[in-house]
A and B are shown apart, each in its own frame.
Chain A
């Protein structure tokens, strides 16, 4: 099978992965009939080959059992991250992280492994104060350069507060969901199914909306 990553891209990613701190696990859920499952499987497998700190579990939906509830798996392909302790910290991708989303994918790997992203103390305090369940959906297209930033912010909030879940949704693969949320522009951020944000907004804007819930 032809590789998805060129040698050059693979080398660059491998080089970045040298900075990983702790091992992580990625759990990918697929089912035989799904359009982009095969490609996603290949992309994640090629990624996992680039660092011995990445464990990849590929799970058929029919065999997913309790995981469907534990990780809220509602569609395929979808994948979640576990940190070195095996803890799910609310970081999820729905759809293949190709195109520009390769950047949010790699950044999720790095940060789940323990590479710290520097928010100001003020922002960290506000994140720590979130005390109710927050579900952040970030709709993206793979051709959108502004989208990985919004996905990264949602994932960082999730990693920093266990009340927050952040998920990327590839809008074209999950067309039904895009229609449901009237998405025809990205990045579109939907918080707890009721508040919307457009564009790659700074973390403060996410927090303003979350604090207004």
Chain B
């Protein structure tokens, strides 16, 4: 029996809301965790803040492309990351939502527990939320066939037919996971595959997987629960209905940058613009991971960006001479 044990020991040292931190990392995904780890090792007064430990890693079943870890269960990976930062005694404040971020002399971070944190430098690593298809029926059948989390909802589709929307690595991984449970998996993507060739080959070899490329989903249809999707096939310029019990939407993420809107420069996709030091348009404010304008959304890249941000923050503080 598996236990995905993530609970923390009740805090022995309470969070100090009166102090001025050197570095606060917002976001409990790989970018925030590694940023906090690097900052702590540099001797900065550090705090890691967020809601769900693991961030978007929680939506993944296993990871196959993180150097040195081989094929690893995502919850095990979160545990390993957590063990590492716990061993270094990086202070962590979990289960809180950030409500506001202001820049005065210091950065002031409002929390939903009514407290405010103050810091000289800030790393914003709030990742993203699953992107929606934006078609009729998607909201109506949410949790009635429409899902954005394979690890959460795959068990409902044992021996049933499911569709996966998307063509990137997340979609391909979802297809592999679901093919072990569902009777049939149909992948529908509006263009060509964007994922790794090795995974594409793996999928093509699966006996219960159908592939519809250059095919656009127009509508999710159903009754009390979802019954299928109406699609448009570009090649034949025809519409048809694919009957299915569920659909997993894996078409990327929307950056979770709302809290910095109006404060830092964002690109047209609302991603935070950063330079090679992970600095945003405001000195001392850094961003890392999937929320930035780096087009490559990968765990190992997010992790390394967190490290770059922490090292840049250290130089920033040293140059200002207030450390």
Contacts and interface: CB of A to CB of B under 8 A. Distances in A.
Interface stretch (A67-75, A129-137, A178-186): A178-186
Contacts of B155: 141, 143, 171-172
Given A12-B5, A98-B3, A102-B5, A186 B144 contact: no
B100 interface: no
Contacts of B54: 145
A120 interface: yes
Given A16-B7, A202-B97, A144 B152 contact: yes
B1 interface: yes
Contacts of A98: 1-3
B142 interface: yes
B246 A184 contact: yes
Nearest to A118: B113
Nearest to A172: B155
Contacts of B145: 184-185
B276 to A, nearest CB: 33
Contacts of B51: 149
Contacts of B113: 118-120
A185 B152 contact: yes
A172 B145 CA distance: 15
In this complex, the interface size class of chain B, counting residues with CB under 8 Å from chain A, is 35 or more
A19 interface: yes
Contacts of B156: 141, 171, 178, 183-185
B6 to A, nearest CB: 5
Given A99-B2, A141-B152, A198-B142, A146 B52 contact: yes
B7 A107 contact: yes
B10 A186 contact: no
A103 B143 CA distance: 23
Given A98-B2, A120-B112, A202-B97, A184 B52 contact: no
Interface residues of A, number: 49
Contacts of A110: 10
A177 to B, nearest CB: 13
A138 to B, nearest CB: 13
A43 B5 CA distance: 14
A4 B1 contact: yes
Given A5-B3, A120-B113, A145-B52, A182 B144 contact: yes
Interface in A162-213: 171-172, 178, 182-188, 196, 198, 200, 202, 204
A50 interface: no
Contacts of A118: 113
A187 B144 CA distance: 12
A185 B147 contact: yes
B7 A106 contact: yes
A98 to B, nearest CB: 5
A121 interface: yes
B214 to A, nearest CB: 28
Interface in B136-177: 142-147, 149, 151-157
A43 B165 CA distance: 38
Nearest to B154: A143
Of B6, B10, B224, which is in contact with the most chain A CB atoms at under 10 Å from its CB? B10
A119 to B, nearest CB: 7
A118 B15 CA distance: 12
Nearest to B4: A100
B179 interface: no
Interface string A12-29: 110110010000000000
Contacts of B245: 184
B225 interface: yes
B199 interface: no
Interface of A: 4-5, 9, 12-13, 15-16, 19, 39, 43, 98-100, 102-103, 106-107, 110, 115, 117-123, 141-147, 149, 171-172, 178, 182-188, 196, 198, 200, 202, 204
10 contacts: A16-B10, A43-B1, A103-B5, A120-B113, A144-B149, A145-B4, A145-B54, A146-B58, A184-B246, A186-B152
Q: Which 4 A-B pairs have the closest CB atoms?
A: A185-B143, A120-B114, A144-B152, A145-B58
Interface of B: 1-10, 51-52, 54, 58-59, 75, 95, 97, 112-114, 142-147, 149, 151-157, 224-225, 245-246
Given A100-B75, A144-B151, 19 more contacts: A4-B3, A16-B10, A19-B10, A98-B2, A102-B3, A102-B7, A106-B7, A115-B10, A120-B114, A143-B152, A145-B6, A145-B59, A146-B152, A172-B155, A184-B144, A184-B147, A185-B145, A188-B143, A198-B142
